[in-house]
């Protein structure tokens, strides 16, 4: 990114990745970035979700929480927080 330019908003499907909410059940992914403020990022990191981590979408039916498998655990993430997780 060029100096002085801001990152595009989460959910925009940028070259940096696509929001977790756009992936279907069963899809694997690799976290490339976390959007949102320090609180959201801290919560996600506490759940083991950070850049470089591979995960699998276990449930994403378009409503309710998104369930992912990460580090041997299943984690349910609200859609508002899930849209802040960018995957490749």
Whether pLDDT at 6 is above 50: no
- pLDDT for res 58: 98
- Domains in the chain, ordered, with CATH? 18-87 (2.30.30.90)
pLDDT at 14 over 90: no
Q: What is the pLDDT of residue 16?
A: 78
**Better pLDDT: 13 or 47:** 47
31-69 pLDDT, tens digit per residue, is: 999 999 999 999 999 999 999 999 999 999 999 999 999
Q: Taking a C-beta distance cutoff of 8 angstroms, is the pair 79, 65 a contact?
A: yes
70 Cβ contact list (under 8 Å, min separation 6): 47, 48, 49, 53, 54, 55, 56
- Supply the pLDDT for residue 20: 97
């Amino acid at each position: 990114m060029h100096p002085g330019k801001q990152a595009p908003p989460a959910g925009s499907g940028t070259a940096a990745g696509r929001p977790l909410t756009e992936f279907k059940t069963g899809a694997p992914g690799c976290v490339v970035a976390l959007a949102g403020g320090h609180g959201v990022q801290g919560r996600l990191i506490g759940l083991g979700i950070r850049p470089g981590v591979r995960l699998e979408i276990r449930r994403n039916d378009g409503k309710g929480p998104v369930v992912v498998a990460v580090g041997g655990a299943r984690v349910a993430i609200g859609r508002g927080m899930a849209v802040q997780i960018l995957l490749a």
